[in-house]
Structure 1
């Protein structure tokens, strides 16, 4: 159960109702974070405009790489809503979600390239509290991606931390976008598998 009421069309103003209808046409139903944010319409519109602008601007990074790091952050934080919604978007975009099965063991898995492993380790380091990013990580990614793609990668990881931590704090859970069909492994298995190895500081959930 959510920790804040989710507003419906009869509880919001005219322009928010229009936004709800647009979201429903695009995604099949209104995303629950949007319905929660409708309690503060100024921030709701700020969030919507930002996401739209980000979608248009984030064109440098390979979509498959962005999908992997975003999914990894969502599982590290424990946001089942993000995993559900993100999996739906990945499937719609024609991306394979099969490698998500291997994310908890990416460092030793042959399913990922060296660049993907570096990016996933960077996502983990940025999500850790306190952050554990090193000069070597950034230098390694910069040499392979270049400055613009490094910035885009960093921004994608930061943005998913914002989404996932906000949704988790408000008690938003999987909304059923994938109906359990497209998500490659059950959510509880993902969370269990994503637990940090012994001796490594874990990010508070």
Structure 2
């Protein structure tokens, strides 16, 4: 079995649980594992909030695609679920969501999205395979602030996806993709 989720959300995290209910309609399940270390949970939540702010230099679709690809790479069921929901919301369809695993072959992605996805993959493998050629292309496209935030997002999504995957935190059904009819 593994580490079981907490049956009760700690008192200190109840405001966060309320925000989850308000935004998602239910409490996100990782809080029941992170609840054992509430201070760290709040730090991670603040980090997410900062990267997702409206004034971020990174396009929201790029942020969502990068997060979705890392979730796929880490085999994180919960992360794939929630990032899929965000990609679908931010793009208005499921087309890019369904193509993100094979983004190199898909014509749906912009140059900026392709570069961000390439960087996310290269930075997320162990050891990272980010080379000087990729760094040069990144610097030509993203300013210092955007590149720093993209790198922080990649690191944060790896933390989240690896935490959730290692503890086998399941998907919650946040992104229900209708089956295609033939």
TM-score interval, normalised by the smaller of the two chains: 0.7 to 0.9
How do residues 104-183 of structure 1 correspond to structure 2 at under 5 angstroms?
A: 104-178=101-175, 180-181=176-177
Q: Which has the higher contact order (CA 8 A, sep 6+)?
A: 1
Does the 8 A contact of 1:64 with 1:95 survive in 2? no
Does the 8 A contact of 1:69 with 1:157 survive in 2? yes
- Tell me the distance in 1 between the aligned counterparts of 2:101 and 2:42: 35
Listed one character per residue, the Cα deviations across residues 73-101 of structure 1 (whole Å, up to 9, x for unaligned) are: 11111111111111223344454331122
Compared CA separation, residues 7 and 125, structure 1 to 2 (3 A): same
Q: Does 1:72 align with 2:63?
A: no
- Tell me the distance in 2 between the aligned counterparts of 1:123 and 1:94: 19
- Tell me the distance in 2 between the aligned counterparts of 1:76 and 1:28: 27
Equivalent position SS for 2:103: helix
TM-score w.r.t. length of structure 2: 0.86
TM-score w.r.t. length of structure 1: 0.77
- Tell me the distance in 2 between the aligned counterparts of 1:57 and 1:113: 21
Does the 8 A contact of 2:72 with 2:101 survive in 1? no
- Tell me the distance in 1 between the aligned counterparts of 2:7 and 2:16: 12
RMSD, aligned α-carbons: 2.3
In structure 2, the gaps of 5 or more residues are none
In structure 1, the gaps of 5 or more residues are 186-205
- Tell me the distance in 2 between the aligned counterparts of 1:162 and 1:49: 14
